Structure 1
């Protein structure tokens, strides 16, 4: 009881701090740059340049545009890194004929993020301050200091969520969570609800090591405090937790040639986020929930360690990485992943990618019907992907597809996964809707063969438009031994509001489901079930984002019979806001 009282007291203190910070922050002035803290680590779909007050001399204008692009080496199919966006934008602003420069970061209806850099040009060169920032008395917060070579800035973000379920775990939490080490009086039959939130702050900087060679040193660190109270999916224990999230150091350089070719490199190490492609294999590099709280908000994304070397020459990207995900202490498998990723394409029409990785260390186990216990250590994975895309405001067909194969050097393993997605963008129509259909396959294990065939999903995930397949269903089946048919629409009836309805049908590849939820270890029928959900996104301003969803999941015959026909449909409702500088 004492620990529960202490946790609730902490939660009340956090809420008071949140309210105070909200009051203070809502009276801040509007800054030149748009906050991108919501989208750190997200995949960039398009990079758009907007030039205002163009020069009358067309040749001079073309040269200036090339100079801007050299100063802003951000490319499609890379990931959002706020610090580099700020640093490169500052570099563009320092150009002689640029009077204003700012970037905007918004989600694309085709998936991923659109980055728009707006540059206001002045025919006459204007004097600019050599130094600025809050530390020298300027009203530039969150920028603390910047000059022609360096930038020091802060990051602040926070979120709070209300979540409610009716008949969680199909009203059979007794079976679905039996033996789960995270479960302590979890949500189940009937209505339950909880509240969770987090607050984070960080310090980041970038400085020029060589102006001639365009070489920069960058780094930063942030701290997150998260908390939960109420009866959530696994526990009714109120708790609060604080720890560092990201903490990294890196070098980045870029070289532009007279021919127009560009070469960039980026070397970084430390606690940082990482994803590959559309997140089909690697997306969730940190875990949330349990003693950390904030199970649904997922504030933590940084791995325990990521060493990453990236080089890019025009449209060719090569990455070499070593990754140690930040797992929950109670289920930490000590998994280490090493691999390389290569991509070729302009990000707009065609994009081809290939990744190969290995797992030299892991205590994660695979279980079989015979009772033999195998392990992830020794896993090797090969992934091939192909995307087509559409620039903003361009209607037409788009397609995405991937296939992946897993084997293990320590035993006979052959598992497969893949998907095919096809859609159409009605970019010129009212609401600019985008419609898509996706079929995904994740192999299951056939007990009649000596080969182990169940797909290991590794670090897949993200959000409901990526590889969290079903707001409720994903909590039951995590992208293994499954076929999925999914329909989705993205509609913007108003400029700041987006609707995302989804319908999906899931069924197993094999009746043997050992390695999944123990209550569903054998499925008399292969049908997992169906889910219908809708998400509403409200982009209130560059600081504020509101998000809500409703989800209704109907158990299929396989789940019903495995649970003795005592299941009920699962309904969930959620509303949260995020604030960021």
Structure 2
């Protein structure tokens, strides 16, 4: 099957595939020996709250002894024991309930006095670093800990823990956020009707000038995990209800509006298999899931906050309508099988389902993966020349991936790339996408400056060929990853798009990160049928540019502040589509999130 796919004569294979082969060669220089990460590896990124980390793939598990046991061989033995007991490992998606219970098992070790879990964004971005800070027991004798939590102690000081003993943990969930947002000359000069004429969720698109509005949400709930009998089998789950609201004119709607619905509603069983880093995990319900850094499947687009759901820019809704997930892990090999139905608004529901598998293998500094995606059901269709409609149902996507840290053995240097080929079981289709991303962080310098560059392609359809070649980005996205820009994501998706992106970031403290992004967009083909609003046939391939400054500030254990300033500069394609009178689109955003 792979030979058939590669023999299709893909237009850009000569540009993308050599990058993957180069990376395979470089990966061969990396040691396959499993080794412990350094503190530098663990703290390259900013510390983030557990709720924001939910569903992100784990790129590194780092175990740090706060003090020595007094002997190097005993330190190594304790570190290995903690790693084996924690059981959550590189490559799997982060689950707050599961990780919290795994930390409890570490704390119960006779040689451990205390243990703390901290989470950091990874370098490169898109994954998660899990750090376990362990203090060795000074005396071998341990005293069994009594049950904790509000039920056991009768005091609210234990909030959010409801009840916790050596077999179970149940907690209250309380998340929320508030934000103020301001856009100037949205829709590149007030052309909201032109871009949203066929968008039923945009009842009152903003016009020219400046519009400012407020958003907020709150999400209360309950979650827990418990060991079943004396077996290594654990049941877990969560339920939460999210209330969101907006006041003022956003880019789609005006007035005061609010919405409430279940956010988390899932249950699962986890079987801790014999052997190191081996498990079987099955779950079902409204939950988050993401493949790697969101190139084709990000947790962000699986739900939406558009229209009646309110809180458009805060974007609090992340769970799908349902996700059936089966995960198996044996040592360095991992396999996920999933069936996902996105959470859609009735007015624009496509009843799409996404099925797939993700197979990966982790080395010390290299991750090799292959994903297959299939759309078994969908009412959506593609627009081909001649007003022909082609069904989305039956789409197949083949997606190899390779990521290398410590490129050529150098700390802070990294390189990663992915390639995707699409065909269809019902008609002649040959589309492709891919990227190559290289970066370096000077982790030993003050503020840990980092510079990276990424080239990405999502193919367009050449109307002069028999095949349909416009790439379907599936559920690509994620701020800082594959969102085509804070501004440009409103008018252009990851299809028929070639992007050059340069990013510079600094980390003044462990809690503060400043990021400067530059994106330059060009169309792959002037035929853009299936695009947004007036961008169906382009007068130029010059789509535009965007410059974004982002600040992330982690305040204590429960608060997270995000600030964004961005400008979208229309290229000739957008300028001509709007009659030659397009303006720059500016946005300022400030949001404060809290998590318990």
Alpha carbons of 1:390 and 1:41: their partners in 2 closer, same or farther (altered >3 Å)? Answer: farther
Tell me if structure 1 keeps the 8 A contact 2:273–2:280: no
Q: Distance in 1 between matches of 2:262 and 2:379?
A: 25
Is residue 2:448 matched to residue 1:432?
yes
Q: Is the 8 A contact 1:533 1:550 kept in 2?
A: yes
Q: Shift of the alpha carbon at 1:254?
A: 2.1
Post-superposition Cα deviations, 1:147-178, rounded to whole Å, max 9, x if no partner, equal 11111111111101111111111012231222
In structure 2, relative to structure 1, the CA distance for the partners of 1:60 and 1:131 (3 Å cut) is same
**Aligned 8 A contact 2:146 2:165 in 1:** yes
Task: Find the partner of 1:344 among 358, 361, 364.
Answer: 361
SS of residue matched to 1:388: strand
Q: Cα distance 1:113–1:122, how it changes in 2: closer, same or farther (>3 A)? A: same
Q: Does 1:459 align with 2:459?
A: no
In 1: Cα distance, 2:440 partner to 2:243 partner: 41
State the alpha-carbon separation in 2 of the partners of residues 129 and 262 from structure 1. 27
1:485-514 deviations in Å (ceiling 9; x for gaps): 000012112332210001111010111111
How many pairs align? 542
- Matched with 1:12 is none
> Deviation string for 1:183-208 (max 9, x for gaps)?
22211311011111110012111111
Deviations 1:3-32 (A, max 9, x none): xxxxxxxxxxxxxxxxxxxxxxxxxxxxxx
What SS does the aligned partner of 1:466 have? helix
Question: Do residues 414 (structure 1) and 430 (structure 2) align?
Answer: yes
Q: Is the 8 A contact 1:49 1:116 kept in 2?
A: yes
Give a deviation string over 1:494-537, Cα, whole Å, max 9, x none. 33221000111101011111101130111011100011110011
Among 388, 396, 399, which residue is 2:415 paired with?
399
Is structure 2 residue 182 aligned with structure 1 residue 164?
Answer: yes
Per the alignment, residue 229 of structure 1 pairs with 247
CA RMSD of the aligned region, Å?
Answer: 1.8
Give the drift of 1:453. 1.0
- What is the rounded CA distance, in whole Å, between the counterparts of 1:516 and 1:527 in structure 2? 15
CA distance in 1, matches of 2:574, 2:533: 12
Contact kept? 1:170, 1:188, Cα under 8 Å: no
Residue of structure 1 equivalent to 2:18: none
Distance 1:452 1:210 in 2: 55
User: 1:263–1:312: 8 Å Cα contact kept in structure 2?
Assistant: yes
What's 2:209 paired with? 190
Cα pair 1:110 1:434 within 8 Å, conserved? no
- Asked if the contact 2:543–2:574 (Cα under 8 Å) also holds between the matched residues in 1, the reply is yes
Is the CA contact (8 Å cut-off) linking 2:193 and 2:205 kept in structure 1? no
- Secondary structure of the 1:119 match is strand
TM-score (norm 1): 0.90
Where does residue 84 of structure 2 map in the other structure? Answer: 70
Structure 2: which 5+ residue stretches go unaligned? Answer: 1-46
Aligned residue among 46, 50, 58 for 2:64: 50
- With structure 2 as the length reference, what TM-score do the two structures score? 0.88
- The correspondence for 1:497, drawn from 480, 502, 512, is 512
Q: How does 1:58-457 map to 2 (within 5 A)?
A: 58-111=72-125, 112-124=127-139, 125-137=141-153, 139-171=157-189, 172-209=191-228, 211=230, 213-257=231-275, 261-283=276-298, 284-346=301-363, 348-390=364-406, 395-457=411-473
Quote the residue 2:33 is aligned against.
none
Q: Does the Cα contact within 8 Å between 1:288 and 1:328 map onto a contact in 2? A: no
- Contact kept, 8 Å, 2:91 with 2:334, in 1: the verdict is no
Query: For residues 314 and 187 of structure 1, what CA distance do their matches in structure 2 show?
Result: 53
How far 1:420 moved relative to its partner? 0.5
Q: Assess if the C-alpha contact under 8 Å between 1:390 and 1:398 holds in 2.
A: yes
Contact kept in structure 2, 1:105 and 1:114, CA below 8 Å = yes
Cα deviation 1:128-155 (Å, max 9, x = unaligned): 3231111122532211111111111111
The answer on whether the counterparts of 1:34 and 1:102 sit within 8 Å (CA) in structure 2 is no
Confirm or deny: 8 A CA contact 2:227 2:233 kept in the other structure. yes
1:511 to 523, 526, 541: 526
- Separation (CA, whole Å) in 1 of partners of 2:226 and 2:198: 51
CA offsets 1:358-411 (integer angstroms, 9 cap, x no match)? 1111001111220111111011111011011259x9833201100001111111
- Distance apart, 1:214 and its partner CA: 2.3
Structure 1 residue runs without a partner (length 5+): 1-32
176-185 vs 548-557, which deviates more? 176-185
1:271-301 C-alpha deviation (Å, 9 max, x unpaired): 1111111111111221221111111111111
Going from structure 1 to structure 2, the CA distance change for 1:84 and 1:563 (only over 3 Å counts) comes to same
Against the structure 1 CA distance between its residues 48 and 429, is the aligned structure 2 distance closer, same or farther, given a 3 Å change threshold?
Answer: same
Following TM superposition, by how much is the alpha carbon of 1:253 offset from its aligned partner in structure 2, in angstroms?
A: 2.1
> Is the Cα–Cα contact under 8 Å of residues 109 and 434 in structure 1 kept in the other structure?
no
Partner residue, 2:557 = 542
Contact 2:48 2:121 in 1 (8 A): no
Aligned to 2:31: none
